[in-house]
Chain A
Amino acid sequence: ELKVEQNPLFLSMQEGKNYTIYCNYSTTSDRLYWYRQDPGKSLESLFVLLSNGAVKQEGRLMASLDTKARLSTLHITAAVHDLSATYFCAVASGTYKYIFGTGTRLKVLA
């Protein structure tokens, strides 16, 4: 059964710093998604990664996918307070099932 793990679970960082969140998964998949969740809110789609080596960037966030290593990274560049949220990766297991990672709660300190 597909398992998806993220680390770290909690991340507190200073504004202006860089950091990377890791998403590891246990079985073969070539579709991976990153979502953002603000407290008490829904899941907002950030990135869709559909092949090995895929890289997507939006503002201060960049996501990549290595299907051979079963690893995706979400890199944060020069963090700002507005990026404070919980970030989830989700891995597709066939068409009909998406398994979410454990989530990384990010807090950016001014």
Chain B
Amino acid sequence: EPEVTQTPSHQVTQMGQEVILRCVPISNHLYFYWYRQILGQKVEFLVSFYNNEISEKSEIFDDQFSVERPDGSNFTLKIRSTKLEDSAMYFCASMGYLNTGELFFGEGSRLTVL
């Protein structure tokens, strides 16, 4: 069964460092999303991406964040200068069927900022 894959599964970084989280969406999907979940808390929308551009973004997704689809398969989230409060689980999701709008999630990347 097709699945969304994410790398790395866990990354530890120092405050102020740049981090890139990678996602490979399901191959025929066209809509891509990043969510984050601070430990034990709600799942927060960050950004959606369609047709090589950002469709919507939340107020969390400030200038420190960026997304791109560099090669037609990977979908990346970059955090330019990490803060302690960026520590969270980051989930990538993709959606292929507008008639159902069902999101399929990857296993997540845990980011720890020290």
**Chain A interfacial positions (CB closer than 8 Å to B):** 31, 33, 35, 41-45, 48, 50, 88, 90, 92, 94-103
Contact = CB atoms under 8 A, between A and B. Distances in A.
Name the residue among B42, B43, B50 with the largest chain A CB count within 10 angstroms.
Answer: B43
Contacts of A95: 31, 50, 55, 98, 101
A16 to B, nearest CB: 28
B42 A42 contact: no
Interface string B37-54: 000001111001010000
Q: Which 3 A-B pairs have the closest CB atoms?
A: A96-B55, A100-B43, A96-B48
B98 A98 contact: no
A101 B100 CA distance: 19
A43 B43 contact: yes
Interface of B: 31, 33, 35, 42-45, 48, 50, 55-56, 91, 93, 98, 100-108
Name the residue among A35, A88, A96, A100 with the largest chain B CB count within 10 angstroms.
Answer: A96
A86 B9 CA distance: 21
A54 to B, nearest CB: 12
B91 A48 contact: no
Given A43-B43, A43-B91, A92 B105 contact: no
Contacts of B31: 95-96
Contacts of A97: 45, 48, 55-56
A70 B42 CA distance: 20
B71 to A, nearest CB: 22
A45 B43 contact: no
Nearest to B100: A48
Contacts of A96: 31, 48, 50, 55-56
Given A41-B107, A96-B48, A88 B43 contact: yes
A67 to B, nearest CB: 15
